[in-house]
Structure 1
C-alpha cells in the first residue's frame, strides 16, 4: 500500500474544490447537461472523449519510468527503495482504473446511441492542450496535472450525478463514469492524495509555499483549460447554448 511521503497536504483541498466547482458551475455546457439538454450531453461525451482516452495512455507511459535520482537525493536510498515500488504500483493502479473509467465513458455514450470508437469526431483546441499537458515529461507538472483532473472529475461527477434531468437522459438512469468518481472506496490514500504527494516529492524546492504555488498554478490551468474546452464544444456541437 502506498504510504504518503508528507503528513500534511501541500494545498488546502477545500479551497481548490471550491475553485474547481465554480469553474464547472459557470460552464454553459455543463449547466445545460444538468438540465437534461440532449445536444449538450452529446457534446460533453463526444467532445471530451479524446482526452478521457488519452489520459489513460499518458499514465500508462509513466508506469516503470518514474525518475529515481531526484527522490534518492532528497529522501535517501533506503527510504526510496521501499517507496519506489509502492509509487510505481500506485501509478499502475491509476492506469488500470482510468482504463475501466474510459470503458464506462464509452458505455454511457452507447446508451445514447453514440459509438465513440466508430465516429470521426473533432478534437477541439483546448482538448488538445489538455492532452499535451497530461504527457509532460516533468514529473511535477505531470502529477499536479493528474491532481487537477481528479478535482475536475470528482466535482463534475458530483454535480451531474445529482442532477435528475441529466441522469434521466440515460436509459439506465445512471451515469456510471460519474458514479465511479463519486465513490470513495480506496483502501489507503486516494489517487488525488498520491498525485499531490508525488508532485511535491519531485519538486526541487522544500519550501511548502513554493510547492503549493506550483501545484495551485498547474491545477488552476487544468481547470481553466477544461472551461475553455467546454465552451469550444458548446459553440461547435450545441450552438443553441450561446443564446441561453
Structure 2
C-alpha cells in the first residue's frame, strides 16, 4: 500500500494515463510494423511495445527483422499517428477532475517525445495543468524501465525520489518507478492484473485514484 503521508509530488505518465492514446498509437504502429514484414495485431503491438520509447521500439523491430529501419519510418509513423490523434484522441475519463483537485505539485514523465506530448496534451486540453513541467525520454540516456527519466523529473521538481508517487499504466513504467525508489500506483483500466504484481497499488479509474488521494488530504473535497 502507498504511504500517502510522504508524498510531495505526483509524476504522471502520459499515454494511457492522461490521454487515451494507447489504442490509437498501437493500431498505427501495428500497421507499419506489419508492412515491414512482422505481422502484428493491435494487441500484439501493445504487448511488445507498451511503455517503451520510440528509440527502444526501433531497436526491437530491427532485431526481430534483422534490418535497418527506413529513414522515413518514424516520420511516416508519426504523421499518421498525429492525424489519427486529431480525429480520435480524448483525455482519460476523470483525469481532468483529478488534476483540478490536486493540492500538491505534479508533472509528466513520458516515454513519448516532446512533439508528441505537445500534440496530445494540447488536443485534450490538459497542457495547462502542467505548464513546463513535462519531461521526456529524449532528455535522458536510458528510457523506461531504467529509472533515469523519473529521477530526472524529480530532480527538476526538486523533490526527493522517496517522496514521489508515480502513476503508470505499463510494466516498464512501474519497473522504472520502483528502480528510482519511488512509490507507484498502477492504472489498469482494462483490469488485466499485470501491474498488481509490482505496483504498490492498482486502480482502474481516475475516480478511484482521486478517492485514494483524498484519504490523505492530497485533493480538494
Select the structure of larger CA radius of gyration: 1
Report the TM range for the smaller structure's normalisation: under 0.3
TM (norm. structure 2) is: 0.27
TM (norm. structure 1) is: 0.25
